[in-house]
Amino acid sequence: MFQTTLYGWTFYFFTAIFLSELFFFFKKKASLLSFIIPALALGLYFILLYHMDYSVWAPLNAVLRDSAMRVYLCLVPLAWFAVFSSYSLTLLKKIENGLSLIKCGCWLPLLFLMPLLTSCNNNKKTEKQDIIYTADDLKIGDYFYQDGTWSDGGLRAVYSDGSYRMAEEVPLPVEGKQVIGIVFQTDTNRIGQAEKEALRQAGVSHPHGLVMAVKNANNDKSFCWGPWGRWQWYENSKTFRKKDCFEDISGLGNQKYIEQNNPEKYNQYTALALARSFQSIDSMEAPANTSGWFLPSIGQWWDICQHLGGVAVLGKAEEQKSRASGSLFWYGQKGICDKLNAWMQNITPAEKHLFKHPFDLYWTSSDYDHQRVRYVALVNDYGYLYMEWGDKPYRHHVRCVLAF
């Protein structure tokens, strides 16, 4: 509540005004009503913030991204509370009696400076730098080949607002090599521990990044995650909130955890089994210097949608730390499937599966509760991105990933 990233100094001013109100009530014998009204208003305001923060429909951090909304949620309640307190009424009475505005009005500019204080503080903490790439740099969008090498995919810059710039002419894949994936992450801090351990066992001491397959598992046919039923070993949800989803970055770790806790039923979990056999069934053999294919976690799908799907809002700290829970969604993402497909535009049709219109649904390896798992819904035509939960018998696609 007293963090200044989004609220600025609002609550510090609330506290100062409330203490001054107490002083007038006890020491100056102010009216009880003049104390009850601001106190009641402050209580209702806190209730409003609480319900917004825990609401699926209007998560508070998402609302406060808009500087105009910060004015309404920070400045306006503060101004109302301050003006109707005994302290402010006394000042206004002195003004009315002819006291110089310079002497008594020094507090008033603070009310109008609140959105500036809030916005400047927020911008300072979330400022990002533009990143410029050359053709030789490993980066988002590069082609990844079956022999374990990669080549330039055409990305030239990622700007601070999340947008990017491509080369004037997008490079073609290297002739004679089979593209099996597109690089979607090069930040090693976003590579799970299980993936790093698998790479060490493969002789890779320094991880490079993560790759999204250019084909869906099971020859592009949808299938259920697994049979209906409770996980007896289940403890607590790892992906209840947005923050949890962002931090769940080890799909391989999720797979191994489920296998270790329920080995006799592991093959009944179709999504995990087909991800594991992806290279043999779909002729997408993973190179020896990789982790091998696995079912991505919701956090890895977060990165795919942010970097390849162009959902820039997923890169904002307030989204990554949000406590909004349950069904998670982002509006204004029209063309998300088109953006994902654009990275594969120079790959021959027979060697890729495009993301489908008007929407496409994909399983993850992330559990939601004792009998449901997270999946991703890419609603291209209406511009929605959902990170939803669903029962295991539902039928969705699987898009595997690997670490290299």
The amino acid at 403: A
Indicate if the pLDDT at residue 251 is higher than 80. Answer: yes
Q: Are residue 194 and residue 323 in the same domain, yes or no? A: yes
Give residue 156's pLDDT: 97
Q: Are residue 195 and residue 80 in the same domain, yes or no? A: no
In the predicted model, what is the mean pLDDT of residues 188-202? 97
In the predicted model, what is the mean pLDDT of residues 313-341? 93
In the predicted model, what is the mean pLDDT of residues 363-374? 90
- Regarding predicted confidence, which is higher, 278 or 92? 278
Give residue 101's pLDDT: 42
Q: Which strands make up the sheet holding 131-132, listed edge to edge? A: 131-132, 155-158, 164-166
- Regarding predicted confidence, which is higher, 19 or 396? 396
Q: What is the dihedral of CA 34, 35, 41, 43, to 10 degrees?
A: -170
Indicate if the pLDDT at residue 260 is higher than 80. Answer: yes
Residue 354 lies in a domain: yes
Indicate if the pLDDT at residue 337 is higher than 70. Answer: yes
Give residue 51's pLDDT: 59
- Mean of per-residue pLDDT scores for the chain: 81
Q: Among 20-29, 182-191, 242-251, name the one with the lowest average pLDDT.
A: 20-29
Q: Which of 103, 126, 149 finishes a domain?
A: 126
Q: Which of 74, 109, 126 finishes a domain?
A: 126
Tell me which residue range forms the domain holding 84.
Answer: 4-126
Q: Are residue 122 and residue 192 in the same domain, yes or no? A: no
- Give whichever of 56-60, 96-100, 388-392 has the largest mean pLDDT: 388-392
- Regarding predicted confidence, which is higher, 23 or 255? 255
Residue 57 CA to residue 154 CA, distance in Å, equals: 37
| Total domains present in the chain | 2
- Regarding predicted confidence, which is higher, 95 or 400? 400
Residue 209 lies in a domain: yes
**Quick check: helix, strand or coil at residue 395?**
strand
- Regarding predicted confidence, which is higher, 103 or 145? 145
Q: Which of 316, 311, 363, 319 is nearest to 339 (CA)?
A: 311
Give residue 108's pLDDT: 46
pLDDT category at 120 given cuts 50, 70, 90 is very low
Express each pLDDT in 346-366 by its tens digit: 999 999 999 999 999 999 999
Residue 356 lies in a domain: yes
Express each pLDDT in 53-80 by its tens digit: 554 444 555 555 444 455 556 656 666 5
Residue 145 lies in a domain: no
pLDDT category at 29 given cuts 50, 70, 90 is low
pLDDT category at 93 given cuts 50, 70, 90 is low
Q: Are residue 94 and residue 221 in the same domain, yes or no? A: no
Q: Are residue 59 and residue 204 in the same domain, yes or no? A: no
Q: Are residue 304 and residue 195 in the same domain, yes or no? A: yes
Q: Are residue 291 and residue 211 in the same domain, yes or no? A: yes
Q: Are residue 246 and residue 384 in the same domain, yes or no? A: yes
DSSP 83-135: HTSHHHHHHHHHHHTT--HHHHGGGHHHHHHHHHHHHHHHHHHH----EE--T
In the predicted model, what is the mean pLDDT of residues 184-192? 98
Q: Are residue 215 and residue 323 in the same domain, yes or no? A: yes
In the predicted model, what is the mean pLDDT of residues 8-35? 65
Give residue 132's pLDDT: 95
- Regarding predicted confidence, which is higher, 285 or 76? 285
Q: Are residue 119 and residue 194 in the same domain, yes or no? A: no
Residue 358 lies in a domain: yes
Residue 366 lies in a domain: yes
- Give whichever of 4-18, 72-86, 107-121, 307-321 has the largest mean pLDDT: 307-321
Q: Are residue 202 and residue 77 in the same domain, yes or no? A: no
- Regarding predicted confidence, which is higher, 159 or 52? 159
Indicate if the pLDDT at residue 278 is higher than 50. Answer: yes
Give residue 53's pLDDT: 52
Per the confidence metrics, is the pTM higher than 0.75?
A: no
Residue 371 lies in a domain: yes
pLDDT category at 111 given cuts 50, 70, 90 is very low
**What are the phi and psi torsion angles at 199 (to 5°)?**
-70, -40
Buried b (16+ CB within 10 A) or exposed e, 8-30: bbbbebbeebbebbeebbeeeeb
Q: Which of 106, 126, 146 finishes a domain?
A: 126
Residue 255 lies in a domain: yes
Contact assessment for residue 190 and residue 219, using Cβ atoms and an 8 Å cutoff: no
Q: Are residue 249 and residue 346 in the same domain, yes or no? A: yes
Indicate if the pLDDT at residue 18 is higher than 80. Answer: no
